[in-house]
Amino acid sequence: MYLKQIELNHFRNISGEKLDFGRQINIIHGRNGQGKTSLLEAVFFLAITKSFRAKSEKIVLQHEKEYLQITGLFETDMKDEFSIRVYYSGAEGKHVFLNQNKIDKFSQLIGKIPVTLLSLEDLELAYGVPANRRKFIDILLSQVSPIYLQALQVYKKTLSHRNRLLTLISENKENSSILFPWDEQLVKNGAYIIRLRQQFTDFANTKIAGYYQRISLRDEEITVQYKSNVPLEPEADDIEKIFRQTLFDNYDADIQRQNTLIGPHRDDLIFYKEGFPLKAYGSQGENKTLLIALKLVESEYLKEQTSENPILLMDDIFGELDNERINNLIGCVIPFGQTIITTTSREKINGLADETVRFLEIEQGKQVK
Ligand SMILES: Nc1ncnc2c1ncn2[C@@H]1O[C@H](COP(=O)(O)OP(=O)(O)OP(=O)(O)O)[C@@H](O)[C@H]1O
Ligand SMILES: [Mg+2]
């Protein structure tokens, strides 16, 4: 996928601006606070119809303005052109248009514009709590599968309802048989969630060490494990059955804690280097390299699932990486096609041909070069 042009109105500190991007590497550079991340955020917003750093549209709407609008002109790998326009105002809410036609449900756009984002906050993926890693995998799988997204939404709703029932049961206001229909919903959707997460993990295991080694130039074995708290046997083909039985075995504990203790909402992804968990043993540089490798795996997964090269977005990730690693990383992203990178120091990128890289300098929300 290639984003040819973006036009922004009243988005963060960008009042009104039209920018043209190159097909391969685009370097958005400028001093702190000029609008580099905002620009990446706008590209992400077009693809996912949400920001990656703001919880609500109100935050990205320029101060004291009534509405914001972002329009992107895209070209697919098969050279079909289309436009996406996102409009938001406090009074009218958010509206998305594909080729001028209003989209009823944002989920209709799922997978249309595959995009991967790598930012410093993603380090939380390596170091942070399991919820961060579940969020990563859920966003990825929701991007490629509307069925996954739906299963996830139903699972979450069912879970919170089940937890309310557990409270009533523990207070003797309900009988535990009331759980049965809810458990069936939980089991069906939860098993599907686990299966797809496992499939992605299998895919990741075939790719992640390769990327890690290409960036670090070290021959180290990196593996990923999907750690489910549903006690699955390796190669278990009947996840539903095992999940159902485990829920049943845990009734007393669940009622006592008024909380569902078993299920994919408590699962985790664990990364290992030479068999040791990187979270506990890895250095900062190693964890950062792991993260970059994971994002490249994500990009490849999106490409496989959507049959379209994703747009890669990288926000300010060169800090702490030596020039050799930066060059290795650039070598890895070039085959994907379009990449948009923000940095305060354009000097970090050198030795690339003019047709490969385009530099855009941003100052106070405007392109100056
Ligand atoms: N809703 C908004 N309306 C107007 N300005 C905003 C809004 N939200 C953020 N800003 C401002 O936009 C400016 C650009 O922010 P942005 O995060 O894009 O900078 P940046 O170029 O990525 O900087 P850095 O190099 O520090 O990461 C900041 O000064 C910020 O305070
Ligand atoms: Mg920034």
E strand residue ranges, the chain: 2-11, 14-20, 25-29, 67-75, 81-89, 93-98, 101-102, 115-119, 222-227, 268-273, 276-277, 311-315, 339-343, 357-363, 366-367
Strands 268-273 and 222-227: antiparallel
pLDDT of residue 117: 94
Mind listing the pLDDT tens digit for each residue in 50-83? Answer: 888 999 999 999 999 999 999 999 999 999 999 9
Distance CA 176, CA 182 (A): 11
Low-confidence ranges of the chain (pLDDT < 70): 234-236
52: CA distance to ligand 2 center in Å? 12
Where along the chain do the CATH 3.40.50.300 domains lie?
1-114+309-369
Nearest residue (by CA) to ligand 1, atom 27, is 32
User: Is the beta carbon of 16 within 6 A of some atom in ligand 1?
Assistant: no
- Give the residue, out of 10, 28, 34, with the most ligand 1 atoms within 8 A of its beta carbon, to mutate for a pocket test: 34
Spatial neighbors of 294 by CB under 8 A, at least 6 apart, are 125, 204, 208, 271
Q: What is the DSSP letter of 104?
A: S
CATH architecture for the domain at 130-307:
Up-down Bundle (1.20)
Polymer length in residues for the chain = 369
- Domain boundaries 1-114+309-369, CATH class: alpha beta
Which atom of ligand 1 lies at the shortest distance from residue 60's CA? 1
pTM of the model: 0.91
pLDDT of residue 300: 96
Where along the chain do the CATH 1.20.1050.90 domains lie?
130-307
